[in-house]
Amino acid sequence: MKAGNSVAQASPSRRLLCRETHPSSPLLVRSDNDPILTEGDIAIGSEDERNANPCTSQDCKWLKNADGKVYVPYYIANHYSDREKAIITRGLESFSSFSCIFFRPTQSGDHEWLSIESNNGCSSFVGRRGGKQVVSLARSGCLYHGTVQHELLHALGFNHEHSRSDRDNHIRVMLQNVQSGKEHNFRKVATLNQGTPYDYNSVMQYRKNAFSKNNQPTMVPIPDPNVSFGNAKEMSHNDKVRLNTLYKCCEC
C-alpha cells in the first residue's frame, strides 16, 4: 500500500537543533514497576501490556539507516479528503526540516509502518512496535499541525511533558480536580529527558484544564501559578532538540 504523498527531501541548508553532548541512553527507560502509559491519547495493545515495558525490552526507537537518517514508513487512509491529507502530510514532512527523521510512504517489503487513520480521537502508541502501527487522527478534532506532530512524537518514543520524571518541580498536579477514572493521565514516568529543561511550550504539554471535572485546573505551574502553558501550536525548540538527541541526528 502506498500513500499518495511523498515526503520532501531536506534541503542541504537545513539546520538541526542539537545539544553539544549526547547521552547514550534512549529517552524512555522505565522501571519494571512503571505501568505502560495509558494517558489520554496513548494506546495500549491489550490489558496484558499494562505492565509490560516494551521500550526497554524491545527498544522502541525506530532504526537508523546507514546514511544516518531514520526512515519511518507511513500510510494515510483513503477516508481523508485532500485537504485533510495535506494537513497530515505537512506534519509528517515538517520533521525532515529539523531532524534526521524522514517519514516516507510505505513500500513493498516494509515490515513496520504507521497507519494513519481516522478512528476514535487522537491517539498513538509510544515508540516503534513493529508491523502495522495505528496513529489515529480523527477527522473531527485532530487535524491540526500541532496535534499531528504530537501524535507522531508519541510514535517516535516520546511521552507527555507533564509525565516527565522531573515534572513535580514544574507543575503541581491537582488530582482533586481530575475526573474520576482519569487519574492515570497524570502518572509520572521515569523518563530520561535528554538534558532538556521542562518546557511549558512543548507540543507534548497538555492544557491546564485537561481532564478537569470542575473547570478548575488539573495542573498548576511552579513557582508562578500564572504562567501560561499547554498552548503550543507546533513543536518547540526543546521538542526538536530532544528528538535530535534521542535519535543522535547530530552525530555523523
Would you say 154 is a known binding-site residue? yes
Of 103 and 105, nearer to Zn ion (C-beta) is: 103
- Annotation marks residue 151 as catalytic: yes
Of 41 and 239, nearer to Zn ion (C-beta) is: 41
Q: Which residues contact 40 (CB under 8 A, 6 or more apart)?
A: 182, 185, 206, 210, 211
* 145-155 vs 82-94: helix crossing angle, rounded to 10: 50
Angstrom distance (rounded) from CA 80 to CA 136: 12
Residues 15-44 that bind Zn ion (CB under 5 A): 41
> Considering the rule CB under 5 A, would residue 199 count as an interface residue with Zn ion?
no
| C-alpha 150: how far from chain center | 5
Please, what is the minimum distance in Å from the beta carbon of residue 150 to Zn ion? 5
Max Cα–Cα distance, the chain, nearest Å = 53
Please, what is the minimum distance in Å from the beta carbon of residue 88 to Zn ion? 16
- For Zn ion, the nearest residue by Cβ is 41
Among candidate residues 151, 161, 234, 251, the one labeled active-site is 151
Contact call for residues 71 and 102 (beta carbons, < 8 A): yes
36: exposed, middle or buried (Cβ count in 10 Å: 0-12, 13-18, 19+):
buried
Compute how many residues bind Zn ion; rule: CB under 5 A.
1
Contact call for residues 134 and 158 (beta carbons, < 8 A): no
Of 87 and 152, nearer to Zn ion (C-beta) is: 152
Angstrom distance (rounded) from CA 145 to CA 227: 24
Please, what is the minimum distance in Å from the beta carbon of residue 60 to Zn ion? 15
User: Which cell numbers in the block locate residue 67?
Assistant: 546514511
Would you say 184 is a known binding-site residue? no
Please, what is the minimum distance in Å from the beta carbon of residue 115 to Zn ion? 18
Of 41 and 199, nearer to Zn ion (C-beta) is: 41
Cα dihedral sign, 173-171-220-186: negative
Please, what is the minimum distance in Å from the beta carbon of residue 122 to Zn ion? 7
Of 76 and 135, nearer to Zn ion (C-beta) is: 135
Would you say 22 is a known binding-site residue? no
The residues that touch Zn ion, with contacts defined as CB under 5 A, are 41
Residues assigned a catalytic role: 151
Annotated binding site for Zn(2+): 150, 154, 160
